[in-house]
Amino acid sequence: MTDPMTGPITTQLHDDVLVIISNNPPVNALGAAVRQGLEAGIKEGLANPQVKAMVIRCDGRTFFAGADITEFGKPMQEPGLPTVVDMIEASDKPVVAAIHGTALGGGCEVTLGCHYRIAVPSAKIGTPEVKLGLLPGAGGTQRLPRIAGVKLALELTAKGDPIPAKLALSAGLIDRLANENNLEADAIAFACEVADTKPLPRARDKVAQADPEAVAAFKKDNAKRFRGFEAPAANIACVEKATDGSSFDEGIAFERQEFMKLMMGVQSAAQRHIFFAERQAAKIDGIDPKIPLREIKRVGVIGAGTMGGGISMNFLSAGIPVTIVEMAQEALDRGAATIRKNYEASAAKGRLKPEQVEQAMGALTPTFDFEALADCDLIIEAVYENMDVKKEIFTRLDAIAKPGAILASNTSYLDIDEIASVTKRPGDVVGMHFFSPANVMKLLEVVRGAQTEDDVLATVMALSKTIRKVAVVAGVCDGFIGNRMLKPRQVEAMKLLMEGATPEQIDKVHVAFGMPMGPFQMSDLAGVDIGWHRDPNRIENIRDALAAEGRWGQKTGKGFYDYDEKRNPTPSARVAEIIEDFRSKSNLQKREISDQEIVEKTLYTMVNEGALILEEKMAQRASDIDVVWIYGYGWPVYRGGPMFWADTEGLKTIVAGLEKHGFAVAELLKSKAESGGRFNG
């Protein structure tokens, strides 16, 4: 028996079954000590003639939930996970995996090395390595198709979403369901049943049937999801290798080769960077992590439009009651109806039970009575972007909100300090910039005003986890982090139109880079008329000209592009005329513009703005900027965000590109380039 004082693995003998137990909180990650303990446990079982079978189980809330990610990039301590899995499989005494919680990644691979698998009904099993730009590298791509078939192996490895135990049972990935509260006893009983089985069922001895139709269909169905990513293709190739007549060992060699290629590549480094960056973003510099938080039992939302409704849904879904205030009955009814419609759409897709819809709607109080906000612990203003309107609302809020209530604005650009100045409690004021649609988008920019109290900021950051947002702290500046960096991209894209590029050329470069859409497709989706002065006779730029002609984007069927009834875009002859007209009025010569120039002017300038944001301490760290752009603007995760991407391009290259076009380069960017430094360590 292993001494619990010296390692995370202990063993217990139950008659002739040896139970090998991991206790490595919080998620029983398969770090070196766990692997060493598993190896020792199996050796102990094999050496003891009394032992007829073994069970591997975990204490705590979950089975092994994956590798110890802190070991990534460091020299591997022996035994490696493939060695441990092979050793389990080679045992001549049956080994049963007893699964609860989640068996993910390396944890799933441990179960595949076992001869039998038993799980509680609430358990989930999967191989999410693809989400870190990797593949299951301990035989997972070779054992999965042999045990559960090609279709399921493709789903698990190339998409990375876990499946529930009942589905795993029907696919043959697990052999039996245990009683939810009796896993160990049921696993021991199962081990006794199979103790004398000969030969033992080993995944390596099974034959995986090829299924080229399934592979072709899977690639076609997921082409959009996988666009630009390297890891899904590598996972698919490995699963196919398991079915092409190669031996198991040849398949393992191929898996290892593909794993190392991914592990050493830029994409996996980018995806792992974001994995850590997201966790880092939750930390607030200069605030004690143990600071007492304010209690948030009820939330008020001012405005029942698209944003207000979406914001409300985040809290309702988390079980926090919401009071939503509007000025007119029609707006209030429409807002509540939209919230219900959104919930019912989720229920129709099976994501929610009908009673969950009613529960959420039951926690919503729609009202005209501004005074009803008096009992709210957090009040979020979500009206349109107008400083005078926001100041008027905060003046009224200051008069009725209870002491200690947090007053937040969902502004995307405006000065939080100016908004806070109309209250007698500026320390209670904070920015909470949700992204549209607010019930879907994961990013939340939390804007720290000059006087925002530490406990206010800490409370909002903690609350963001409750409502399943990825929150980033931003300082007070025009556009905060995300929209401030968007501005140079949009400005330079418009200049490029004047110089000879077309909207479709610029958008194509951005989509090829990995963005979901380019600057002009984005304008058409959001609405070309957003922020327009509404005077059709005042035409000062291309955007004014489009708006004056009712070319407001997808909603009017025409914007920078023309749209058919299915909203498919085609280049517009009228837009080309408008651009040509502005070009000739400005005495500009049309010239050929390369794709590289578009990258330098629209993306390098974003990096430069990011460097200014860091210089001014408007973001806590470069990785926070990356998180904003991944979760709020669709920057491709396999490029790791703008600042990580700048590091991989080389900061000297970025500086040279900016200087070539006459841009003033941020001091921080220049000094890092000169010293050979990076934004992300």
What residues are labeled active site?
109, 129
Identity of the amino acid at 552: W
Distance CA 642, CA 572 (A): 31
Close Cβ partners of 638 (under 8 Å, ≥ 6 residues apart): 133, 228, 229, 230, 267, 270, 271, 514
CA-closest candidate to residue 605, choices 487, 446, 458, 449: 487
Identity of the amino acid at 345: A
Report the helix count and the strand count for the chain, using DSSP H and E. Answer: 29, 19
Instruction: Count other C-beta atoms under 10 Å from residue 89's C-beta.
Output: 20
- Report the greatest alpha carbon distance in the chain: 94
Instruction: Count other C-beta atoms under 10 Å from residue 547's C-beta.
Output: 24
The b-or-e profile of 157-185 (16+ CB within 10 A means b, else e) is: bbbbebbebeebbebebbbbbbeeeebbe
CA-closest candidate to residue 435, choices 642, 643, 631: 631
Task: At 312, list the tokens.
Answer: 């409300």
Q: Which element (helix H / strand E) includes 607? A: helix 605-615
Bridge partners of residue 96, in order along the sequence? 55, 116
Are 141 and 242 within 8 A, CB to CB?
A: yes
134 three-class SS: coil
391 three-class SS: helix
Are 31 and 7 within 8 A, CB to CB?
A: no
Range list of β-strands (E), 353-456: 364-367, 378-381, 406-409, 429-434, 443-447
